Structure 1
Amino acid sequence: VPPPAAEPQPEALAAAPSVVADDAFQKIEEEEAPREMKSARARRSYNLDWRGDLGQWLYLREFAHSARMERKDGDRVDFAETLYWNAGVRTDAQTGVAEVSFAMSDSVTTFKAFAGAVGGDGALGSAVAELESVQPFYAEPKLPLEVTSGDAVRLPVALVNGTQATLSGASARVELKGDVKVTAGAPVDLASSARARQLFSLEIGQEARPVDVKLTANAGQFTDVVTRTLSIKPRGFPGRVSFGGLVSAKAPAVHRVVLPETVVPGSVKTSIAVYPAPLANMTESLARLIQEPSGCFEQTSSTTYPMTMAQQYFQTHTGVDPKLMADAREKLERGYQRLVGYETSEKGYEWFGQNPGHEALTAFGLLHFTDMVQVREVDTAMLERTRGWLMQQRDGQGGFKRNRRALHVWVEDADTSNAYILWTLLESAGRPAAQAQELSREVASLKAAAKKSTNSYVLALAANALALAGDTPEARALMDRLASQQKQDGVVGGATQSIVGSSGETLDIETTALATLAWMREPAHALNVQRAMKFIAESSDGGRYGATQSTVLALRAIIAYDKQRASRLVPGRVRVYVEGRPVGEPMRFDGSTQEALKLPDVSALLGPGERKLELRMDDGAELPYSVEVTYNTLTPASSKDTQVALEVSLAKAELIEGEPTEARVRVSNRTDQKLPTAVAILGVPGGLEVRHDQLKELVKRQVVDAYEVLGRDVVLYWRGMEPNKRIDVPLSLVAAVPGTYTGPASRAYLYYADEHKVWTPGLKVSIAPKQ
């Protein structure tokens, strides 16, 4: 809407249009409301408001809860907690009154309305009002968020009489579908405006899945129906056996699956997939990575970066599932909004958005946002701001500053950091050659450092950077050095330090992927590319390639490799065998196949001990595959190579409903070295609730750097740990729902070495109902 030449008159302002979102009644996005609101709807509109001081119209967003179209009397499933929000309500110029409208949710409770105002003369005002949602008679259950199979829940149900008369024979009935046994309660008489409480015993069976808990309450002529969801998780400790590689018609892929003797019956699940196209690998990566904690800039990128590259793939390939494309777009949008929130006030990016910005992490962000430009709109001013801030971090001697803010190996090695930042600046530049001229001192410095370096990770970065800078002879020389480091299995050896301080297979993946990206610039290294891609395919762990950096670089190599392949797939068939017996029908594929071939579940044929699993192909091209077997075991096995220790205990394990207790978490650095990015996850038993105010206080006191709560897991983050450091974290918990519960296993690990976890048994608690 173009602004008028002068400030509009009142009648013109009143007629200003309201710009409504694509669908005036659309499902609320998950980040705007808790999970209980998924069945609710809201009005999301943008009202136009004239700002005379700015000489332009402003869009002001409004959120208003709307009643369900299918709403029925006495049937309550919508428990939205936020009903209305608007940052730009304008009062009437004459009366000073403004009216807003919204629908109530199904909650019987008291809502608070907060209003803050600024007058035309700059005067400030605020007010708080209460809005009570009532019902003549209703029932209110108190459910734990999650429980473990085998738990026993004493479900409290409040029956409330909101009338002035006595209600005789008030009763409630709980209905569940699934492996849960329920004991009924006895009828009660409710006096005027009185409430009574009944306890229902829920015995949770072995079936682990979400179940709907339907509570029907009756009293005289009144009926109330409440439906809530109870999440049931499997007992024991999660374990996984995974394999990957290439299968062809020349030879079957054979693996020995060994499960512990203590595996929980019925907990074994298998996922076997063959990937005709890189898209299939990315689909697996999305499914896996989106479940990982995302408490900082880099961990949010672990989800959004693979989705960015998946969207690039969608643009150049047909036959992609539209639902998959839409889902990836939606999640990418949310990820982008979260990522830009980590920009510091002094510019640049940092793990938790705190000053000062971190040079190498900002370079990683610049590369990510540049790739994202190809698939969605990105704030160009932010991109220019980020690149400009990064250019200001040059030290004037051919390198980049490394401001030390916290213990983190991203800043330790000068050659590694300089090579990484320079590569990202050139890779993200619209005209790399022109950017290289401005960075001529840094390019020359990297060229000199690469000649002396014995770290093949630095060599791979330098080979890519010099190729982008137009120094083809020197880039080829580095590519040849990398080729001499490649082993028969495709791994590029000789890496000693990466930008994130990774080690083992994760470091191998990062280095090999970077070398592959360089080799693909020169046809003479086609054989090296083939070997490297075989290794990358075999490194897939359920669609994931180590940590964030290694996964991003592996997927970059996969996308680049796909762009170079001009030939179509040779049609064929693939089938799975267990102990020589075929399972299911052969899965066919041809040149048009884009998504992963999901082979049959063979979990019924697996159990304690060893089984032989084979993939056999008839005809067809050589394709990557992955095999993942998940299970639960009662005896956890911590990695012998873990560098952190974990101790978890409860101050008191026998509680009365409403009583507080404390979980004592101790995380220790077992080494005499500085460790980067430690993560500890406390598994909270089902009947206990965490106190978010106390968690926020722990961040404020710098006991932890960040936290998030995912189901019953409390995830704690640290940027790094001093040598031999012990960190004690007291976590306040409240006994919320009576019963006996076992929490999920607690664990600790380094983010860049998450294959080496230390586990502790799940906490147990018994909560007696209050009298």
Structure 2
Amino acid sequence: VEPVRIRAYFPETLYFNPALITDGRGKALLNVPLADSVTSWRLTCMGSSLNGQLGSTTADIRVFQDFFIDIDFPVSLTQNDQVHVPVAVYNYLQTDQTIQLQVEEDDWFELIDLPPKTVTLAPSEVRAVYFPIIAQKVGFRKFTVTARGSEMSDAVARTVEIVPDGREYLITESGRLDGSVTHTLNIPHDAIDNAGRIFVKVYPGLLSQLVEGLDRMLRMPYGCFEQTSSATYPNILILDYLQTTGKITPEIEMKAKGFINTGYQRLLSFEAPGGGFEWFGKKPAQLILSAYALMEFYDMSKVHQVDPDIIARTCQWLLKHQQNDGSFQPAVRILHDEMKEKLNDNILRNTAYIVWTLANTGYDGPEIKKGVDYLRGHLDDMKNVYTRIMVVNAMASVDPKNETTLDTLRTLYDIRIEKDDIVFWQAKSETPTYGSGTAANIELTALAVQAFIRCNRKYADVSKAINYLVRQKDAHGTWQSTQATVQALRALLLAEKTGAAQNHAALTVSINGREIKNLTIDHTNCDLLQLIDLKDHTRKGKNTVTLISEQRAALSYQIVGRYYLPYSHVTPPRQEPMSISVDYDRIRLAVEDILNVTASVANNRPQPAHMVIVDLGLPPGFTLIPDKLNQLVDNGTIEKYSPANHRIIVYLREITREKPLEISYQLLAKFPLRARTPVSVAYEYYNPEITTVAPPVSLFVAPKK
């Protein structure tokens, strides 16, 4: 039997060329290898001539064959799920065709029906054929089906992720590598088999630090202004850095500008009626959020076209809120006598933040001097670490050599926390965007670094603060929250401009006494993240990882361990800051039945939980019916929601202890299965340490009666 070619290449973007040069007649010939998708591609072309004339066009490229099959896989499955994989069979031939469908067996799944399936299709008939399997091994796995027809044949391979049936745990160790370092990571003996992994990341330079977290930032929720803003900002910082250092390439520039343009269009939708910006674009606008918007639009204008009116309009909106004494008052005044100290600190914080923004966005009007004079006259009102840091940054942006600026900087230095080779500043209250805990400490430390560098002081302590920032990087390549990540990147950029780059080193990576990888860092790869996967050498129990640098090079590193515990081995905490439960009206149903789901989220602390994200797991083989969620948006119960692959992201402005929240929605069963739902998670966006998880539930969907 002749082999059938397997279609397995299904990219979202088929071809990209940022700088195609035509001949003298304006013509160019492209040889574009087509993907395996049966679809219509949209070709978009933009061009410019030597004398500046512009033009653009679009065209369709139709890829078709008269007979083909496709696999409708869910985004992911959980280990031990049993699912009837639907294979759609399309017969557009002019005659009947008898087709034999055969699954290529593999060790990652058990095929319940072993014999091949045979179907006969009339002309232009489409039919679904189901193959029941049990997913057994974790990882990204390939599923291949061959369809041999009496007239024409086809074969297709699709990939699905099989996730472990347990709760994920991450261990991270990071720092500066100067000589050698050894860390021991422990994988519990009751962890799920073959799901544990250790990998090492080495950052030779700043660009590798910047680029690593981009994909994660782009995947973060972007349902409110600050989230959209902070997912866009890293692209702005990277593009500006690459252009300034001459390291830009057409490919990177085009990709970054595409992300920035998407973010820019989203950001504009959050301008509140009457001016300024608010988390969800509603009135009244928020002062500090609007100042943050102004700074981002200004920085964006350096690398991307920005409507100058949005910058001018936001600047003027801020300026009209300045009081006669030069201050910027909080939107809601606190009138009780016992809260006067907090009110004064909030006024100082607002004023410092807005003056800092105005001074760094090209504005030089008299309002800046009035604001600085107010700050200098009210330094005794600084009761908050965040406020003190912002006051220093504001004054340093205007006059970094002024004695009052330097004196205030010294008071900031005096309240640092120093431990061995790290220095950081600790938040004792929420930041203006509700950050607290470690995320707030990172944000404060990054802002403090910016202040010290602007004033050209305490470089030894700046280095120790940079050590702290490097060590706080999470396993996903970011610094927990978006605000912390953006400010950490800004601090690293400033530090890079004042320090010498290191671009030569030799590195050895070992695990459990076995040498695994030798790396050479030089000018050809000093901007690239080096990733060493130690999965094949990871074992349960203690794993000792050693990094040795032959040269005393200031490299940064991170060692990440990942493992999963069965949910039966996970002990829930007695009292979580927040809690979530997800209840299904039934766990056994049939194809095309509707499943009613209720997610309950509670805040168990006296203070409100601000900007809460509820990440609801969408079971495989189900599709969302949006009606009930749309009603919750319309009546103000939730701010908004967005389906994303196998999840539903719900955005909440606030949850109080007195008012737990219920989110009701409906799902439609698409095909037979016995599967575990993904976990559902609720967390504070600006303080992701406050996280609660609802374990998965087993669902059974029978064939349609």
Band the TM-score falls in, shorter-chain normalisation = 0.7 to 0.9
Q: In 2 relative to 1, CA 481–160 (structure 1 residues): closer, same or farther, beyond 3 Å? A: closer
Alignment partner, residue 208 of structure 2: 280
8 A Cα contact 1:211 1:232, kept in partner: no
**Corresponding residue to 1:685 among 609, 619, 624:** 619
Amino acid of the structure 1 residue aligned with 2:654? G
Name the SS for the 1:350 alignment partner.
Answer: coil
8 A Cα contact 2:632 2:638, kept in partner: yes
Please state if 1:654 is matched with 2:588: yes
Name the SS for the 1:216 alignment partner.
Answer: strand
Within 5 A, what are the aligned runs for 1:54-69? 65-68=60-63
Question: 1:581, CA displacement in angstroms?
Answer: 3.3
Name the SS for the 1:257 alignment partner.
Answer: strand
Name the SS for the 2:423 alignment partner.
Answer: coil
Within 5 A, what are the aligned runs for 1:140-289? 142-157=72-87, 167=96, 169-174=98-103, 179-182=108-111, 183=113, 184=115, 186-188=117-119, 198-209=129-140, 211=142, 213-214=144-145, 216=147, 218=149, 221=151, 230-249=160-179, 252-289=180-217
Please state if 1:759 is matched with 2:698: no
Q: In 2 relative to 1, CA 752–229 (structure 1 residues): closer, same or farther, beyond 3 Å? A: same
Name the SS for the 1:393 alignment partner.
Answer: coil
Q: In 2 relative to 1, CA 734–442 (structure 1 residues): closer, same or farther, beyond 3 Å? A: same
Name the SS for the 2:174 alignment partner.
Answer: strand
Q: In 2 relative to 1, CA 400–193 (structure 1 residues): closer, same or farther, beyond 3 Å? A: same
Amino acid of the structure 1 residue aligned with 2:261? E
Please state if 1:728 is matched with 2:662: yes
**Corresponding residue to 1:419 among 352, 355, 373:** 352
Deviations 1:438-459 (A, max 9, x none): 2333322233333331322211
Farther-moved stretch of structure 1 (154-163 vs 614-623)? 154-163
Question: 1:402, CA displacement in angstroms?
Answer: 3.9
Please state if 1:633 is matched with 2:565: yes
Deviations 1:148-187 (A, max 9, x none): 232222134566778998x475544445777344435543
TM-score by length of 1: 0.77
Farther-moved stretch of structure 1 (149-158 vs 549-558)? 149-158
**Corresponding residue to 1:439 among 368, 371, 387:** 368
Question: 1:726, CA displacement in angstroms?
Answer: 0.5
Alignment partner, residue 555 of structure 2: 623
Farther-moved stretch of structure 1 (543-552 vs 293-302)? 293-302
Farther-moved stretch of structure 1 (505-514 vs 222-231)? 222-231
Q: In 2 relative to 1, CA 713–671 (structure 1 residues): closer, same or farther, beyond 3 Å? A: same
Q: In 2 relative to 1, CA 210–313 (structure 1 residues): closer, same or farther, beyond 3 Å? A: farther
Within 5 A, what are the aligned runs for 1:180-579? 180-182=109-111, 183=113, 184=115, 186-188=117-119, 198-209=129-140, 211=142, 213-214=144-145, 216=147, 218=149, 221=151, 230-249=160-179, 252-317=180-245, 323-403=251-331, 413-428=346-361, 430-431=362-363, 434-435=364-365, 437-470=366-399, 472-488=402-418, 489-493=422-426, 495-542=428-475, 543-565=477-499, 567-569=500-502, 571-579=504-512
**In 2, Cα distance between equivalents of 1:396 and 1:197:** 72
**In 2, Cα distance between equivalents of 1:260 and 1:541:** 21
Please state if 1:595 is matched with 2:527: yes
Name the SS for the 1:293 alignment partner.
Answer: coil
Question: 1:468, CA displacement in angstroms?
Answer: 2.2
Question: 1:697, CA displacement in angstroms?
Answer: 2.5
Amino acid of the structure 2 residue aligned with 1:662? N
Alignment partner, residue 5 of structure 2: none
Alignment partner, residue 67 of structure 2: 74
Name the SS for the 1:520 alignment partner.
Answer: helix
Name the SS for the 1:673 alignment partner.
Answer: coil
Amino acid of the structure 1 residue aligned with 2:585? A
Deviations 1:76-117 (A, max 9, x none): xxxxxxxxxxxxxxxxxxxxxxxxxxxxxxxxxxxxxxxxxx
Farther-moved stretch of structure 1 (368-377 vs 633-642)? 633-642
Q: In 2 relative to 1, CA 281–163 (structure 1 residues): closer, same or farther, beyond 3 Å? A: closer
Deviations 1:397-429 (A, max 9, x none): 533354469xxx99994433332223222222x
Farther-moved stretch of structure 1 (440-449 vs 662-671)? 440-449
Q: In 2 relative to 1, CA 316–637 (structure 1 residues): closer, same or farther, beyond 3 Å? A: farther
Farther-moved stretch of structure 1 (264-273 vs 226-235)? 226-235
Amino acid of the structure 2 residue aligned with 1:312? D
Amino acid of the structure 2 residue aligned with 1:74? F
Amino acid of the structure 1 residue aligned with 2:282? Q
Question: 1:743, CA displacement in angstroms?
Answer: 2.0
**In 2, Cα distance between equivalents of 1:185 and 1:478:** 78
List alignment gaps of at least 5 residues for structure 2.
1-25, 48-53, 334-341
List alignment gaps of at least 5 residues for structure 1.
1-20, 28-34, 48-58, 76-138
Name the SS for the 2:313 alignment partner.
Answer: helix
8 A Cα contact 1:678 1:748, kept in partner: yes
Name the SS for the 2:182 alignment partner.
Answer: strand
**In 1, Cα distance between equivalents of 2:79 and 2:368:** 60
Farther-moved stretch of structure 1 (465-474 vs 735-744)? 465-474
Q: In 2 relative to 1, CA 482–617 (structure 1 residues): closer, same or farther, beyond 3 Å? A: same
Amino acid of the structure 2 residue aligned with 1:205? Q
**Corresponding residue to 1:604 among 536, 544, 550:** 536
What is the alpha-carbon root mean square deviation over aligned residues? 3.6
**In 1, Cα distance between equivalents of 2:83 and 2:173:** 39
Deviations 1:648-668 (A, max 9, x none): 121111111111111221000
Alignment partner, residue 669 of structure 1: 603
Name the SS for the 1:534 alignment partner.
Answer: helix
Deviations 1:504-542 (A, max 9, x none): 222222222112111112334222222222211222223
Name the SS for the 1:754 alignment partner.
Answer: strand
**In 1, Cα distance between equivalents of 2:343 and 2:282:** 16
Amino acid of the structure 2 residue aligned with 1:530? S
Farther-moved stretch of structure 1 (518-527 vs 724-733)? 518-527
Q: Which has the higher contact order (CA 8 A, sep 6+)?
A: 2
Q: In 2 relative to 1, CA 476–228 (structure 1 residues): closer, same or farther, beyond 3 Å? A: same
Alignment partner, residue 95 of structure 1: none
Amino acid of the structure 2 residue aligned with 1:739? L
Question: 1:193, CA displacement in angstroms?
Answer: 8.5
Please state if 1:744 is matched with 2:678: yes
Question: 1:396, CA displacement in angstroms?
Answer: 4.2
**In 2, Cα distance between equivalents of 1:36 and 1:730:** 40
Name the SS for the 1:620 alignment partner.
Answer: coil
8 A Cα contact 1:423 1:464, kept in partner: yes
**In 2, Cα distance between equivalents of 1:496 and 1:157:** 55
8 A Cα contact 1:653 1:765, kept in partner: yes
Deviations 1:610-669 (A, max 9, x none): 322222221232222212222333235667885211111211111111111112210001
Question: 1:43, CA displacement in angstroms?
Answer: 4.3
Farther-moved stretch of structure 1 (395-404 vs 355-364)? 395-404
Farther-moved stretch of structure 1 (295-304 vs 704-713)? 295-304
Question: 1:732, CA displacement in angstroms?
Answer: 0.6
Deviations 1:321-341 (A, max 9, x none): 765554333323322222223
Q: In 2 relative to 1, CA 197–286 (structure 1 residues): closer, same or farther, beyond 3 Å? A: closer
Name the SS for the 1:352 alignment partner.
Answer: coil
